[in-house]
Structure 1
Amino acid sequence: MTFSLDLWQTIVLIAMVLGAFIGLLKLLMTQQTKHLDDSFKVQGQRLDKIEQASAAEAGNWQRMEREILQLKADLPLHYVRREDYAQTIATIMAKLDAMGMRFENILLRGQKNHE
């Protein structure tokens, strides 16, 4: 059994093998390109979600910063330091003691005048 090919049959066979190889290579390249496109698409979606989360977090931090600044601005208006409170109470107590002494003096003078 002999196997013989003419020149044109050999050229056609080589062209068919090359065509099949090129077709297979093209198919693999399109699949690879599709896979890369899908990967980039998923990565882009992840990055978009991260950007949205980052923007929301930045908004929360700005809100917290505003609230803290508002608290710092309101703090002197609504709260009294312990030293200031103690000084104010001491002043009030001294004034009450002075008033008590005056009333005692007035009462003592009144008792002397009635006797």
Structure 2
Amino acid sequence: MRFELELWHVISLVMAIVGAFWGIGRMLLAATANGINEKFGHVAAQIERLSSLEVKRGEDVLKLERELGALRLEMMRDFTRREDHNQAIAGIRISLDNMSLRIEKALAGSNGGRSDA
């Protein structure tokens, strides 16, 4: 049994095989490209979501800074430092001591200088 092929049969057979491999290769590359594009699409969506969260977080930080500044102003208006408070109390005590000395002198002067010992 002899099998003969003419040249155009061989050429067409080789072209069919090369064409089949070419088609399969293009399908694999297209599938790979679609997978990559899909993954990058998900990554881009996550980047957008994170950037919107970052903008919101930045706005929250600015809001907190404003509130902290308002709190500082309120504390400066409503509260005194410990040194200021101690100084005010010391001034009141000195005034009370002076008043008690005056009262003692006034009482001593009304007794005629006598002490009831």
Distance 2:65 2:3 in 1: 88
Q: Does 1:62 align with 2:62?
A: yes
Q: How does 1:20-59 map to 2 (within 5 A)?
A: 20-59=20-59
Q: Which amino acid aligns with 1:54?
A: E
Tell me the residue number matched to 2:6: 6
Q: Which amino acid aligns with 1:27?
A: M
| Alpha-carbon displacement from aligned partner over 1:2-33 (angstroms, at most 9, x marks no partner) | 22112222222122112211211110111011
Q: Which amino acid aligns with 1:85?
A: H
Tell me the residue number matched to 1:94: 94
| Alpha-carbon displacement from aligned partner over 1:51-89 (angstroms, at most 9, x marks no partner) | 122222222222222222222222221221111111100
Report the secondary structure of 1:11's partner residue. helix
- Select between 89-98 and 51-60 the one with higher mean Cα deviation: 51-60
Q: Which amino acid aligns with 1:24?
A: I
Distance 2:104 2:91 in 1: 20
TM-score normalized by structure 2? 0.80
Report the secondary structure of 1:5's partner residue. coil
Deviation at 1:98, TM superposition (A): 2.0
- Select between 20-29 and 9-18 the one with higher mean Cα deviation: 9-18
Q: Does 1:19 align with 2:16?
A: no
The runs of 5 or more residues in structure 1 that have no matched partner are none
Larger relative CO (CA 8 A, sep 6+): 1 or 2?
2
TM-score normalized by structure 1? 0.81
Deviation at 1:111, TM superposition (A): 4.2
Number of residue-to-residue matches in the alignment:
112
Aligned CA RMSD, in angstroms, stands at 1.9
Q: Which has the higher helix share?
A: 1
Distance 1:70 1:93 in 2: 35
Q: Which amino acid aligns with 1:95?
A: S
